[in-house]
Structure 1
Amino acid sequence: GEVEAIVHMGAVSSTTETDADLIAATNVRLPLALWEWCAREGVRFIYASSAATYGDGSQGFDDDPDPGSLARLRPLNPYGWSKQLFDRMVARRVAEGRPAPPQWAGLKFFNVYGPNEYHKGSMRSVALQAFEQIRERGAVTLFRSHHPDYVDGGQLRDFVWVGDCVEVVAWLLGHPGVSGLFNVGTGRARSFLDLAHAVFAALGREPRIEWVDTPAEIRERYQYFTEARMERLRAAGYDAPFTGLEEGVVAYVRDYLATDDPYR
């Protein structure tokens, strides 16, 4: 049959990757080629952007697709830069009335966790890393805070269950009239300490936290707070609830990580 839509989630997703040529080829030129093909062939296009585009958060977390608003964002690493560059290319093309897919959506995923991420190495979610650390040595290692406004482990992230991300993509595929840039998070930031405690609770274990300094090479570029503004996706008509942290962690541990076969 005919291709109706492309959902493009592939990328060099490591926030510590420094090969700019590799990142540009994979995260910018490849999705741009897909965009142009979809525009030419009349195929819908949904792609993964990232909350890494927001940098240190000083410009807020508003998924405004206006080219001027996007230009103010300052990502902290090459990965975030590449996602930001592609978002800006898309926004500029749309603003100028150039050929575009009949539906397009860039999804700014926040801190996604959930099954089938086991191959991702250092980019595995903190939920999975915490589970593995507890299983191996009964403790979780977290970064100390180097920011006067945050206690150790009090660094905040918008942790979003992967099943909710899939639901957003499925909803967009079912609503071909909706296009735009959209944050995908819960809209509620939680601390790394909250996350670690949730994993311990899911395993029925008493919390044991070990602290290490944030590595010097990322300390100056470290995000202390991310929280998705979800008004734009809600205004587009998406009304499903997002899974709370404790509920999502219990589902992840009980239904996947603690089973004989976590790939389901």
Structure 2
Amino acid sequence: MFLVTGGAGFIGSNLVRALCARGAEVLVCDRLRDGGKWRNIADCPIAGVLPPEDLERWLTDASDVEGVFHLGAVSATTVRDGDLVARSNLTLTLRLWDWCAEYRVPLVYASSAATYGDGSEGFDDDMDPAALAKLHPLNLYGWSKHATDRRVVDLLARGRARPPHWAGLKFFNVYGPGEGHKGRMASVALHKFRQIIAGEAATLFASDRAGIPDGGQRRDFVHVDDCVAAMLWLMEQPHVSGLFNCGSGTARSFEDLVLAVYAALNRAPAIRYIPMPDDLKGKYQYFTEARMDRLRAAGFPHPATALEDGVARYVHHLLSQPDDA
């Protein structure tokens, strides 16, 4: 059996579907709440849904666990409850690390490109403590993921117990099916699709930095299928462990993304630029680009999905599955 925390969420549900398609037994640990999140796993023959508050008890009695995928987190970059974020994102991850080390269970957990802060120190998934110390996340969420990565590296340096093999994946800007419940934190691709379908012009944040045009902010947009492929591959590699970037390896502008949505809908582009919201000023990444060298050198064979291809596939999914939007 595989345990997938956050298994009804965006990345988690895509992973659960892929595992179930392989015939694996999968237990989802998540909260479905009163929205449409349940639809993400409605077509998956899962072993059950475990409430997060029951996870500790379940771990006490768990047996025959093949692997743990820990994707559950408080993921809003604007959240301000530090105690909640530390408990959910840092403490729980380290608890699962210890459990996987004790019971010899492989672990793949979600880190984030938010650990890189403004990108001034680059986007190299270096595990050297000195390199990690130079990173300064821009928000509480990014700090919680960075603190987790640093503690894992510290545990390794101290020779403490570790899972038989493990990976922390620094996800970049993920988009694709299953994110309709995420509200403001959904991908730009989904937000722009909704605007265009509603007959509005697609809006983008105006630039407030010299030399960067409106819509010229660039991010590493990665299709969720590529993330799932990386997680599945890492779980199957007993000799590969470490922190790894998970992106496309190519930065593209927000304008490129919006034009890809319009092209997939076969509509003429119409873009309107709006001021940056106050709560994002000083906390907004203007450039991200995953260095994929380490994951490729480890042998990961899955090719990155080109932005235009991934967006077209996503748009066609949204048109055929309106409940997902």
TM-score range, shorter chain: over 0.9
Counterpart for residue 242 of structure 1 = 304
Give the TM-score of the pair, scaled to structure 1: 0.97
Counterpart check, 1:258 vs 2:315: no
Q: Deviations over 1:45-98 (max 9, x none)?
A: 100000000000000001011112111100000000000000000011012211
Pairs aligned (count): 262
Give the TM-score of the pair, scaled to structure 2: 0.79
Q: Deviations over 1:192-241 (max 9, x none)?
A: 00000000000000001111101123212221100000101011111221
**Kept in 2: contact 1:53–1:74 (CA 8 A):** yes
Counterpart check, 1:154 vs 2:209: no
Structure-to-structure mapping, 1:35-50, within 5 angstroms: 35-50=97-112
Counterpart check, 1:132 vs 2:194: yes
* 2:212 counterpart SS class: coil
2:230 alignment partner AA: V
**Kept in 1: contact 2:107–2:235 (CA 8 A):** no
Q: CA RMSD in A?
A: 1.0
Counterpart for residue 165 of structure 1 = 227
**Kept in 1: contact 2:78–2:279 (CA 8 A):** no
- Counterparts of 1:50 and 1:217, CA distance in 2: 20
**Kept in 1: contact 2:175–2:224 (CA 8 A):** yes
Structure-to-structure mapping, 1:1-264, within 5 angstroms: 2-254=64-316, 256-260=317-321
Q: Deviations over 1:164-188 (max 9, x none)?
A: 0000011112212110000001110
* 1:137 counterpart SS class: coil
Q: Post-superposition shift, 1:136?
A: 1.0
1:87 alignment partner AA: D
**Kept in 1: contact 2:264–2:311 (CA 8 A):** yes
* 2:320 counterpart SS class: coil
Q: Post-superposition shift, 1:32?
A: 0.8
* 2:211 counterpart SS class: coil
- Counterparts of 1:262 and 1:229, CA distance in 2: 35
Identity %: 58
- Counterparts of 1:221 and 1:85, CA distance in 2: 18
- Counterparts of 1:88 and 1:229, CA distance in 2: 19
**Kept in 2: contact 1:70–1:88 (CA 8 A):** yes
- Counterparts of 1:194 and 1:225, CA distance in 2: 14
| Higher deviation after alignment, 165-174 or 215-224 | 215-224
- Counterparts of 1:36 and 1:187, CA distance in 2: 32
Q: Deviations over 1:145-179 (max 9, x none)?
A: 00002100000000000000000011112212110
**Kept in 2: contact 1:53–1:75 (CA 8 A):** yes
* 1:119 counterpart SS class: helix
Q: Post-superposition shift, 1:260?
A: 3.8
Moved segments of 4+, more than 6 Å: none
- Counterparts of 1:101 and 1:174, CA distance in 2: 14
- Counterparts of 1:70 and 1:209, CA distance in 2: 38
Q: Post-superposition shift, 1:261?
A: 5.2
**Kept in 2: contact 1:156–1:224 (CA 8 A):** yes
**Kept in 1: contact 2:68–2:105 (CA 8 A):** yes
Unaligned runs of 5+ in 1: none
**Kept in 2: contact 1:38–1:45 (CA 8 A):** yes
